[in-house]
Chain A
Amino acid sequence: MSTDADTPDSMTIIAFSGDLDKLWPTMILSSTGAATGMDVTVFFTFWGLFPLVKDDVRITGNDSMTKALAGMNAPGMKKAKLSKLNMGGSGAWMMRKVAEKNNLMPPEDLLDICKDMGVKLWPCQMTMDLMGIEPDQMIDGLGQPVGAATALQAMSKSQINLFI
């Protein structure tokens, strides 16, 4: 849908962070990219994978260490923490209140819009294996889990590549 060669028509975001304040720009840029006719892919890897776990899944993992890591990372987008001054969740709570007051949609709602607009949401297969996260513990509407080569293939075709 580009109008000239200088106008980007593809964007890939590597969602590395599971922090609330980083999920927001990821979701805002993805949905806006799709709204401007771009082909948008988000590859969720490492800590970025935890927000794709269903909110009602309390813990993920297949042994004591992966369970401990999941405990520290609170799976589910609604439980995402702030990257700094989270203060046991009160920072994230305040951030959400401020956002609500300013009519900024929460990231989980923006994620739903991203799905409706055809943004490709790719979970990292390796992170799922590493952290013992099962496919049925993850939210609906995601693409097939993929690896680094598939992410790089998308990036090589994108004019905009971001690591958030």
Chain B
Amino acid sequence: MTDVNKTVDAKGMTCPMPVLMTAKGIKEIGEGEVMLVEATDAGARSDIPAWATQTGNELIDSAEDGDVLKFYIRKK
């Protein structure tokens, strides 16, 4: 499992909050560090990868644990 430097808990939040919280969270870690974003909004399944592509951060892994979507993002 990847070492996680920060976890953003966006569970229960709906669009646009998971993306806004992800954007806020990424500012709080250093380059090369990894952030875990947890969300339950089904829209996040495409929104978080779209955000990563747009901002140039790397989505290194994603997983689903029941209703919880997990995204591992490395800051570029």
Contacts and interface: CB of A to CB of B under 8 A. Distances in A.
Whether chains A and B associate is yes
Interface of A: 1-3, 7, 28, 31-32, 34-37, 102-105, 110, 113, 117
Interface string B53-66: 11110000000000
Interface residues of B, number: 17
A101 B53 CA distance: 31
Interface in B1-59: 12-17, 19-20, 22-24, 50-51, 53-56
A3 B53 contact: yes
Nearest to B50: A36
Q: Chain B at the A interface: mostly helix, strand, loop or mixed?
A: helix
B12 A37 contact: no
Contacts of A3: 53-56
A84 B17 CA distance: 26
A106 to B, nearest CB: 12
Q: Chain A at the B interface: mostly helix, strand, loop or mixed?
A: loop
Contacts of A103: 12-14, 17
Contact of A32 (B13, B19, B53): B19
B56 A35 contact: no
B13 A36 contact: no
A2 B12 CA distance: 30
A36 B19 CA distance: 8
B23 A36 contact: yes
Contact of A1 (B17, B20, B55): B55
A127 B37 CA distance: 42
B54 A31 contact: no
Nearest to B56: A3
A32 B56 CA distance: 15
A104 B15 CA distance: 7
A28 B16 contact: yes
A37 B20 contact: no
